[in-house]
Amino acid sequence: MTTYVFPGQGSQIVGMSEDFYKNFAVAKNTIEEIEDYSKINLKEIIFKDPNNQLNLTNYTQIAIFAASLCIFKTYKNEKGLNLNSINTMLGHSLGEYSALACSEKLSLKDCSIILKKRGELMHNAVEPNKTGMAALIGLSSSQVQNIIDQNDLNVQIANDNSQIQIVISGSINELENSKPAFLDNKVKKFVKLNVSAAFHSDYMLNAQKELSLEIDKLNFLSNNINIISNFNAKISNESGGIKESLKNQMANKVRWTESIKNLEKDGENKIIEIGPGNILSGLIKRISTNFDIKSINTIYDLDNK
């Protein structure tokens, strides 16, 4: 069977999914439906972005979600895809919400509303430009954690993206202070990311608590599709467990490497990335060479992949 994966923040680009919107009624209807639920003019932000809102977290997340959903629904229609033929879905950070909507574990309405709330909470969680994130190239999660522990660094692992790419979160000062320790211990590159806050860290705890109260109200549906949760990297089809993991996602690290390794252990060997860009395809290839990976982000990909 084929596994479907969905990207997170950082994959956004002006014009994403516009070719689907212009050429397929299902894509147009999907974006307009999400607009109705979120009360946000997504078409203007996604396709034109005249007010530079696309890179603001409170708009970025719902925008990527809308683009991913319209691409998946078009792909599903055009290929005659039956959800019963899908074994597993997963997404990176906000992409987990795309997976929940596309798998129909959550309704499009519920997912649109909760993701809008998530973006707003994360956007307002800390004072802008006081905290941030940095990508470390060259070491694994355990190696990075050893450096943090041995040097008593006040930063946290936010994303375990592959065996050689780890993202850390912390205050701007602590990130800068940690840089020499990492570069002196075989980290090849230390790259500050263009984000507004320290996501997937303790800085998000209050926002996570508030969001979890809203997640508790959601009705998670049962079907045969497994979800791999960012929080624990476990493959699960149990609605209660999926919900609890989602409640703990925002302030804890994304266990992407473990997730892909568990997918591999489960015998899956085909992956399709749905959504803007192909960031996840690149990460997955670094984790394992045993997957046949395709990315669908333009209408050209529908007939050529």
Tens-place pLDDT, residues 150-194: 999 999 999 999 999 999 999 999 999 999 999 999 999 999 998
Pair 117, 140 in one domain: no
Domains in the chain, number: 2
Query: What's the CATH number where 269 sits?
Result: 3.40.366.10
Are 158 and 259 part of one and the same domain?
no
| Averaged pLDDT score across all residues of the chain | 96
Q: Does residue 31 share a domain with residue 65?
A: yes
**Cα 288 to Cα 164: distance, rounded to the nearest angstrom:** 12
The answer as to whether 197 is a domain residue is no
* Predicted pLDDT of residue 304: 75
CA dist 240 and 300 (Å) reads 39
Are 39 and 72 part of one and the same domain?
A: yes
Q: Whole domain around residue 157: which residue ranges?
A: 131-192
Active-site annotation, residues: 93, 200
On whether both 27 and 87 belong to a single domain, the answer is: yes
Beta strands at 156-162 and 165-171: parallel, antiparallel or unpaired: antiparallel
Q: Is the domain of 17 the same as that of 119?
A: yes
Q: Domain with 142 in it: what CATH number?
A: 3.30.70.250
Beta bridge partners of 166: 136, 160
Task: Give the pLDDT confidence score for residue 133 in this predicted structure.
Answer: 96
The answer to whether residue 277 sits within a structural domain is yes
Average pLDDT over residues 70-79: 97
| Percentage, residues of the chain above pLDDT 70 | 100
Of the candidates 168, 192, 216, which is a domain's last residue? 192
pTM of this structure:
0.96
Q: Tell me how far CA of residue 297 lies from CA of 88, 193, 224, 272, in angstroms.
A: 20, 23, 26, 10
